[in-house]
Amino acid sequence: MSDLGPELSFLRDRGFGAAVPTLALILGSGFGAIEAACEPQVRIDYVEIPGLPAPSGLPGHVCRLTQGCLWGVNALVFRGRYHGYEGFTARELGLLPRLAQGLGASLLVVTNASGGIRPGLEAGNLLAITDHINLMGLNPLVGLPRISGAARFAPMAGAYDPALVDALVAAAGRAGESMQRGVYAAVLGPSFETAAEVRALAAQGADAVGMSTVPEVIVARALGMSVCGLSLITNRAGSSDDSHDQTLRQGNDNAARLGRVLEQFVKGLGQPFN
């Protein structure tokens, strides 16, 4: 997919982008309850958008786009994402930020579930992503034709805006939550990591590991969007707790906490970061 013109025209004809969104939010595994905070103006399942690949139907992964009022701002809420482990191509993994940018969003907020690597990162902890390591073996910018409007050799320094990271941590404090900062490593999956792989990831500087997010961030930055990311630690990476069911349970159990943090973050967007 080199051009999303038909897809964007289809969405605009249905009211998406009629009001310029302040931000786009991608909800990770188990975080679907946060979607309920958005007062919908328009809503559509991904599968209804001509030209987009049909989601795999993996349990716990509802795929739906909503535009509406989210905690006082106009927002695009992507409930569910495309994953490399489901067989989607690198280009397809970058579809959501391309749609968001095409509909007018300049800020992308990504959320995910991940396994803790750094000592002290346990199930239930919140992590503001400060940087990433791409170990997926793919990049959505590879190949021709190029993604329209994207930098071919996009710089990734400061991919996660430091001011937005600070704002996210401050928002957590206002919500009564503790939030750590750290580096997120993305692997292809769907198998979880071996103990040896976890040691290797730690040696490379990773604090948490997951199977998503990075392709979206690469595309968003190549398109000039600002990015910040929030991860929920669902387990200790490489432990006996590694399972998709565990990830979904932790996501469901902690969605309200993430929602409170994101609410404070969104409400603070109009204020100076400090």
Residues 249-261 have pLDDT tens digits of 766 777 889 999 9
Q: To the nearest 10°, report the CA torsion of 122, 125, 128, 129.
A: 30
Q: Is 225 a catalytic residue?
A: no
Question: What tens digit of pLDDT does each residue of 116-141 get?
Answer: 999 999 999 999 999 999 999 999 99
Annotation marks residue 208 as catalytic:
no
- By DSSP bridging, strand 179-187 and strand 38-45 are unpaired
d(CA 173, CA 151): 36
- Has 231 been annotated as catalytic? no
Q: Is residue 219 part of a domain?
A: yes
Its domain, for residue 256, covers: 5-267
Report d(CA 237, CA 121) in Å as an integer. 10
Contact criterion met (CB below 8 Å) for 105 and 225: yes
61, 100, 175, 206: the active-site residue: 61
CB 140: neighbour CB atoms within 10 A?
24
Residue 142 has pLDDT above 80, yes or no: yes
Whether 91 is covered by a domain: the verdict is yes
- CA torsion 168-262-255-15 (nearest 10°) is -140
74 is catalytic: no
Name 78's bridge partners.
26, 65
Question: Residue type for 181, please?
Answer: R
Average predicted confidence (pLDDT) for the chain: 91
With a pLDDT cut of 70, the percent of the chain lying above it is 92
For position 250, which CATH number holds?
A: 3.40.50.1580
Question: Which entry of 7, 35, 46, 83 is annotated as an active-site residue?
Answer: 83
Which residue in the list 37, 105, 113, 175 is annotated as catalytic?
113
User: Has 86 been annotated as catalytic?
Assistant: yes
Instruction: Kindly state whether residue 274 falls inside one of the protein's structural domains.
Output: no
Count CB neighbours of 106 within 10 A.
16
Residue 135 lies in a domain: yes
Spatial distance between the Cα atoms of 218 and 195, rounded to a whole number of angstroms? 28
**Count of other CB atoms within 10 angstroms of residue 50:** 9
Catalytic option among 211, 222, 225, 237: 211
Instruction: Write the DSSP assignment of 199-211 as a string of letters.
Output: HHHHHTT-SEEES
Whether residue 82 contacts residue 88, with contact meaning beta carbons closer than 8 Å, is answered with: yes
What does the pLDDT average to over 133-156?
94
* DSSP class of 269: T
Residue 273 belongs to some domain of the structure: no
User: What is the distance of C-alpha 263 from the center of its chain?
Assistant: 16
Separation between Cα atoms, residue 27 and residue 230, nearest integer Å: 10
pLDDT at residue 80 tops 70: yes
Tell me whether residue 212 is one of the annotated catalytic residues: yes
Residue 1: predicted pLDDT: 43
In a domain, 272, yes or no: no
Structural domains counted in the chain: 1
Which of the pair, 154 or 274, is modelled with greater confidence? 154
pLDDT at 60: 53
Structure tokens at 89: 């191509």
Name the percent of the chain lying above pLDDT 90. 81
Q: Is 132 a catalytic residue?
A: no
The first and second tokens of residue 191, run together, are 């198998």
